[in-house]
Amino acid sequence: MSVTDELLANNARYTESFTGPLPLPPSKHVAVVACMDARINVYGVLGLNEGEAHVIRNAGGVVTEDEVRSLAISQRLLGTEEIILIHHTDCGMLTFTDDEFKKSIQEDVGVKPSWAAEAFSDLETDVRQSIARIKNSPFVPKKDHIRGFVFDVATGKLNEVV
């Protein structure tokens, strides 16, 4: 049995106590942008319930064009007004550089990615960079309530980047 099959068995149990459907727009009018890291259970970390917040995640929790796209849709079509950015301690993005990652791919498959890997060397600096990218975008209209945090994988605590 694959892991996917195992998780589908979990899903069958989930449906037994599921009550829906909830409305489409997030009831708390908030969008979260977080790293894909397995240790960040966004619903647990923030005490979110189903239906309350958009959750956008990728490697690093960085803001690239696709996060701008998602935030533009979130704010313009579905009414979110606050943004919470979450990076975290012990992040994999701290362990390599763009150059070496892209070179390893080129050596493996003969093609070098045209995109940035978005590795970074300092967590707080990169949270500020992600905020700066949102503030610099004409496509995300609501920028008055953007806050950035570093999640501590040892304690579960969100520490604000100021």
Closest approach, Cβ 125 to its own copies, in A, equals: 19
What is the residue type of 124? Answer: E
Q: Are 67 and 91 in contact (CB under 8 A)?
A: no
Q: In the complex with its own copies, which residue's Cβ is closer, 30 or 131?
A: 30
Site track for its own copies across 74-103, x = CB under 8 A = x-xxx---x-x----xx-xx-xx----x--
How far is Cα 133 from Cα 121, in angstroms, rounded to an integer? 17
The helix (run of H) or strand (run of E) holding residue 82 is: strand 82-88
Is residue 105 involved in binding its own copies (CB under 8 A)?
Answer: yes
Whole-number minimum distance, CB 157 to its own copies, in Å?
Answer: 5
Beta-carbon contacts of 103 under 8 Å, excluding residues fewer than 6 positions away, are: 112
Q: Does 126 bind its own copies (CB under 8 A)?
A: no
Is 5 among the annotated ligand-binding positions? no
Task: Write out the binding residues for Zn(2+).
Answer: 35, 37, 88, 91
